[in-house]
Amino acid sequence: MEIYSQIKGLGFYVPERIIENSYFESYLDTTDKWIVEKIGVKERRVASSQQVTSDLAAEACVSALTKASVHALDIDCIIFSTNTPDNLSPQTSVKIQEKIGAKNAFAFDLRVGGCPGLVYAISIADQFIKSGKCKNVLAVSAEINSRGIDWQDRSTAVILGDGASAVVLTATTDTDCRIIDTQLFTDPKGYYDAYIPAGGTAEPFSESTFQDRRHYFKMNGREIYKFAVDVFPASVSKIVKDNGFSIQDIDFIISHQANINIIKESMYKLGISMTKTYTNLKKYGNTSGASVGIAFAEAVDKGYISRGDLLILVAYGAGSGWGTILIKY
């Protein structure tokens, strides 16, 4: 009998502190109106100085495990995607393992350009389960973007927020409640459109890199926008066609929460109403890899998605990397 992966539980966490657009109006050349119209963000969450990335991730994991009715001791593997680890080495996933008490699991980190990270983590978890190597897997993404952005750079400061999301995947033989397919893609042409110049072997940290603010995240928003409105509809159409469905068969699409206009334009290209998606970047901003999981969890909690629905997760970002997941939820 064939083994599949079922999404058993979804959880997320956002910090308590809220920063509204008016904060940026006070010192940057921007307005609340511009940020809302061009990006779709009204406010975002920022972690406290006492919190580290694994704290946010652990909170999301506990929520997902509770909803899944799965004990941490029954988790076989933790796959964690982040661009803002607790430390550069070793892997932050072992700190998550420790904090949630998943002592029987093995854990590793992914670095997939941030934004598509959870989709990559879910895809890898799906392979572990289908191979029979694991029964219960946690796919997790968390970011404290507020510590990696230049607060003087309007192109990034107003967009990003902090948060975490987690997905419990469990082995099943039920063909009516499973991950149907995952598809992942990369294109190195967009490598420099969203990156941190300094800190690696190509450009080690130095006094000059700090003076030039090259240790902060840099983004070419125009190129990222063009990339996203291309790969979002194209990759959704591909996974639908490859699995013998039509776009009309899809009940719901959950996208990475990058920009409201990216989502609107992509849904329009697909010929799908905005009523078939869920957005929350207005209150959380772009939480990078965590965003698609936060939106997924909230959409389920609010009743927009029900068991049996056919849905797609789509995420895209730095690298350039992107991916889709087709799910019979």
174 has pLDDT over 90:
yes
Q: Quick one: 14 and 161 in the same domain?
A: yes
Lowest mean pLDDT among 57-61, 198-202, 229-233, 277-281: 198-202
What pLDDT is attached to residue 175?
Answer: 93
Q: Quick one: 99 and 138 in the same domain?
A: yes
Domain that holds residue 275: 179-328
Domain C-terminal end among 139, 159, 175:
175
Q: Quick one: 288 and 147 in the same domain?
A: no
For 212, the token pair is: 């030039």
What pLDDT is attached to residue 2?
Answer: 95
Q: Quick one: 273 and 233 in the same domain?
A: yes
Does residue 121 contact residue 93 with C-beta atoms inside 8 Å? no
In the structure, what pLDDT confidence band is assigned to residue 318 with cuts at 50, 70 and 90? confident
Q: Which of 320, 306, 26, 52 is nearest to 192 (CA)?
A: 320
Q: Quick one: 276 and 139 in the same domain?
A: no
Does residue 111 contact residue 124 with C-beta atoms inside 8 Å? no
Give the other-Cβ count within 10 Å of 133's Cβ: 11
Q: Is 34 helix (H, G, I), strand (E, B) or coil?
A: helix
Q: What is the DSSP string of 146-211?
A: GGTS-TT-HHHHTTB--EEEEEEEEEE--TTSEEEEEEEEE-GGGGGGEE--SSSSSS---HHHHH
Say what angle helices 117-130 and 291-301 make with each other, to 10 degrees: 80
CATH at residue 234 = 3.40.47.10
As separate numbers, helices (DSSP H) first and strands (DSSP E) second, the chain gives: 11, 13
Q: What percent of the chain has pLDDT over 70?
A: 100
Query: How does pLDDT run across 22-42, given as a tens digit for each residue?
Result: 999 999 999 999 999 999 999
Instruction: Please provide the size of the chain in residues.
Output: 329
Q: Quick one: 15 and 164 in the same domain?
A: yes
Q: Quick one: 198 and 287 in the same domain?
A: yes
Domain C-terminal end among 129, 153, 175:
175
How many domains does the chain divide into?
A: 2
Instruction: Supply the residues annotated as catalytic.
Output: 115, 256, 286
How far apart are the C-alpha atoms of 110 and 118, rounded to whole Å? Answer: 9
How far apart are the C-alpha atoms of 200 and 89, rounded to whole Å? Answer: 13
How far apart are the C-alpha atoms of 184 and 186, rounded to whole Å? Answer: 7
Full-model pTM: 0.96
Q: Quick one: 183 and 167 in the same domain?
A: no
Domain C-terminal end among 117, 144, 175:
175
Q: Quick one: 16 and 162 in the same domain?
A: yes
Distance of CA 126 to the CA centre of its chain: 17
- Look at the block and give the residue holding tokens 């964690």: 80
Q: Quick one: 109 and 253 in the same domain?
A: no
Does residue 86 contact residue 190 with C-beta atoms inside 8 Å? no
What pLDDT is attached to residue 224?
Answer: 93
What pLDDT is attached to residue 246?
Answer: 98
The pLDDT mean for the chain works out to 97
Query: How does pLDDT run across 178-195, given as a tens digit for each residue?
Result: 999 999 999 999 899 888
